Amino acid sequence: MLPINVVNWLFNTVTIIPFVIIPLYATTVLGASLFQASIIAGTFFGVNAVTAVIMGSLSDIIGKRKPFIIFSLFGSAVIFILISFIALPVTLILVMGLFGFIAAGFNPCVMGMVSEYSKPQEKGKNLGYLNSGTSLGWAVGSFSSGTITEHFSFAMTFYFGCLLAVLAAVLMIIFLRETKTDIVKERNFRKIIIALRNRFIPKSGESTYLKEKGLSWFYISLFFRYSAYWGSFALLSIFFATIVSTTWVGILIAINLGISALIMSPVGKLSDMKGRKIIILFGLFGTSFVLILYATSYSLILLIITQILNAFVFASIYTGGSAFVSDVAPSDKHNEAMGFLNSAITFGAVTGTLIAGIMAEIFGLRTMFLILAILPIIGAAIVLSKVSETISSA
């Protein structure tokens, strides 16, 4: 499990950089408006949302994980080189769309790998370790990007991301083997397309795991939650910059994600013992509370407190949610299910960034946070009424 966690950590150290630095880069260097800055992030999520579930399904059909992961890693390195040469907001929007396509194969395939490596009673714990690597990567990437940008330049930050992506790809090639699955590897192009179509357009009367335990409703609840989360995050660095320095922007985001990294595995273990649903609900209600705190914070101390609380919220929804999906999904559709998870998150992000951009332009950043705080409450109501527990001992 160690090699895959290291690769995951490096990749997420890279992929957080655009969301910490690019909004500032777009507004201060390229002259973008707040709405344009939100669209830049939303374009990534929009393309990623559509592509992630397709990549996950293709991985299941072909029976291969590594090629998709390696493509995402090397492709990300190229994207960071391209970003450093961009001079117009519209060009950055196009490149971020390409980035969304390239990065889409990583998360569903890595999460599917971990699920396949894990014993049933350890899925929550192992996915917690994986998510810890994600949060730790985001923390390191946030701190590094803020510090490098302030003391060197935006371009140097993008080169740093390129270097880490290449390193992760090399480690993936050398140290990680394919997971052993009973999936029949399909190599005929026509049959692959037919299999892909059958997954998304099942035959009449055919049952689907998406109906089990309210899984499809859970995806909808994630859509509302991540509309609020990523909508706020797209402009969070700009909001922080109105109160603190660029270095502290990176530190604040790193505090949140660093603590998340430490508690992901304990939260995963807790969900193994107590159940997924209660952990998910804490994450949903907690998201609304955090957004309200952002809207009322005017000092560094209050922002630090809010970021610490947000770490527990993030760990709960991300680890509890991914473990729930892993419980419900059949073994031959793990990556597809994780792809749907990623797509629910990223479709929410597309919607959220649009809402955030419009609300910020009309009402300002603080009112934007209060409006977004309504969305996770809707998600919590869905989980309470439609989603069932998967841990029988809970």
- Output the six-digit token pair for 371: 């409006």
**Residue ranges of domains in the chain:** 2-386
Structure confidence by residue, pLDDT tens digits, 260-288: 878 887 888 888 888 889 999 999 999 99
How many Cβ atoms from other residues are within 10 Å of residue 162's Cβ? 20
- Amino acid identity of residue 41, one-letter, is A
The string of pLDDT tens digits covering residues 366-379 is 999 999 999 999 99
Is there a contact between 301 and 180 (Cβ–Cβ < 8 Å)?
no
pTM: 0.68
| DSSP assigned state of 152 | T
Q: Which of 89-93, 236-240, 291-295, 335-339 has the highest mean pLDDT?
A: 291-295
- Residues whose CB is less than 8 angstroms from the CB of residue 100 and which lie 6 or more positions away in sequence, other chains included: 43, 44, 45, 46, 47, 48, 49, 51, 346
Q: What's the confidence (pLDDT) of residue 191?
A: 63
What secondary structure does DSSP assign to 122-139, as a single string?
GHHHHHHHHHHHHHHHHH
Q: Which residue has the tokens 């859509």?
A: 223
Q: Which CATH superfamily is domain 2-386 in?
A: MFS general substrate transporter like domains (1.20.1250.20)
Instruction: List, for residues 30-87, the tens digit of each pLDDT value.
Output: 888 878 887 887 788 778 777 877 787 777 777 777 888 899 999 999 998 888 888 8
Whether the CB-CB separation of 365 and 233 falls below 8 Å is answered with no
At 235 the three-state DSSP class reads coil
Question: What's the full length of the chain, in residues?
Answer: 394
Q: How far apart are CA 149 and CA 193, in angstroms?
A: 44
- 275-334 pLDDT per residue, tens: 889 999 999 999 999 999 999 999 999 999 999 999 999 889 888 888 888 888 887 776
Please determine, for residue 394, whether its predicted confidence score (pLDDT) is greater than 50. Answer: no
Greatest pairwise CA separation for the chain in angstroms:
61
Q: What are the phi and psi torsion angles at 153 (to 5°)?
A: -170, 165
The number of beta carbons lying within 10 Å of the beta carbon of residue 190 is 8
Residue 90 has pLDDT above 90, yes or no: no
Question: Can you tell me which residue has the tokens 């792809």?
Answer: 339
Q: What angle do CA 168, 267, 7 make, to 5 degrees?
A: 5
Sign of the Cα pseudo-torsion (75, 78, 80, 82, in order):
negative
| Tokens describing residue 108 | 């569903």
Contact in structure between 283 and 310 (CB atoms under 8 Å):
no
